[in-house]
């Protein structure tokens, strides 16, 4: 959990039916309580009948308990649970577009190397960097690059999985 503003960032993983309207029902549970969703990832599960949703949100833990229970109660939700390190592996990916002059390029590439990131687009005046890892690593990488001329950042949002053979 990361301390952020007054709230705490929580990560919630849901296994749901892969149906239209599912996401609407879930986000409604958050919106009704004035809880902002920071990131949200939806994708089909191993069995395409179901979807995996990973949500990060920030706020009062007491409200979050209610939100998780209300999500869990939805007919088409198989389970909703809050996960915390170290029981899980958490990853996300960011694409970062930087405008670079020739003088800056080598320093940017040093940062890319340090974070085991990749340059996925290489142009005369710009680079697009792809960095993967946990949220803290991505935040650190972005912070290091802030002194350059950042153009755009797109992040996938966090996905997580339980370690070992236990099901998420």
Partner 1 sequence: MEKEQNQMNGAQALIRCLEKKGVEYIWGYSGGAAIPIFDALVDSKIKLILVRHEQGAAHMADGYARATGNPGVVLVTSGPGATNTVTGLLTAYMDSAPIIVLTGQVPTFGLGKDLFQEADVFGITAPAVKHSYLVKNGNDIPRIVEEAYHICSTGRPGPVLIDLPKDVTSGPCTADLVNVKMDLPGYRIPGAGDPEKIKEMAKALSQSKRPLILSGNGVVIAGAQEILTAFARKLGSPVVTTLLGKGGMDEMDELSLGFLGMHGTAYANKAVSGCDLIMSIGSRWDDRITPAQIERFCPEATKLHIDIDPAEINKVLVPDVSVVGDAKLVLESLIDQIQPLESEDWLAEMASNKKKFPLGYKIHGGLKAQQVLDELNNLTEGKAVVSVDVGQHQMWAAQFCKSSSARSWICSGGAGTMGFGLPAAIGAQFGRPDDLVIAIAGDGGFQMTFFELSTIMLHKLPVKILVIDNKYLGMVRQWQELFYENRQSGVDLEGNPDFVKLADAYGMQAFRIRRPADIKKVLSKALEFDGPCLIHAEVVKEDNVFPMIPAGGTVDEMILKAPTKAMAKPIGST
- Return residues touching partner 1 (CB under 8 A): 16-17, 20-21, 24-25, 28, 32, 65-66, 69-70, 72-79
* Closest CB to partner 1 among residues 16, 98: 16
Looking up tokens 């710009």 gives 126
- The CB-of-53 to partner 1 minimum distance in angstroms stands at 13
> Looking at beta carbons only, is 73 or 99 nearer to partner 1?
73
Q: Minimal distance in Å, beta carbon 63 to partner 1?
A: 10
Q: How far is the CB of 109 from partner 1 (least distance, A)?
A: 47
Give CA–CA dist 95/117, Å, rounded: 10
- Name beta bridge partners: 132: 93
Query: Rounded to whole angstroms, what are the CA distances from 56 to 13, 27, 30, 52, 84?
Result: 9, 12, 11, 13, 11
- Rounded to whole angstroms, the maximal C-alpha distance in the chain is 58
Residue (5 or 75) nearer to partner 1, CB = 75
């Amino acid at each position: 959990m990361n301390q952020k503003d007054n709230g705490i960032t929580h990560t919630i993983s849901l296994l749901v039916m892969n149906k239209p309207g599912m996401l609407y029902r879930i986000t409604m549970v958050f919106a009704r309580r004035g809880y902002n969703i920071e990131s949200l990832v939806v994708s089909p599960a191993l069995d395409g009948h179901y979807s995996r949703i990973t949500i990060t949100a920030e706020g009062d833990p007491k409200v979050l308990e209610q939100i998780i229970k209300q999500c869990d109660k939805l007919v088409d939700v198989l389970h909703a649970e809050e996960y915390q390190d170290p029981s899980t592996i958490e990853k996300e990916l960011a694409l970062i577009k930087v405008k670079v002059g020739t003088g800056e390029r080598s320093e940017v590439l040093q940062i890319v190397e340090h974070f085991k990131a990749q340059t996925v687009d290489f142009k005369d005046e710009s680079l697009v960097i792809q960095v993967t890892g946990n949220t803290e690593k991505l935040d650190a990488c972005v912070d290091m690059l802030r002194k350059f001329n950042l153009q755009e950042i797109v992040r996938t949002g966090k996905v997580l999985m339980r370690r070992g053979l236990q099901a998420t």
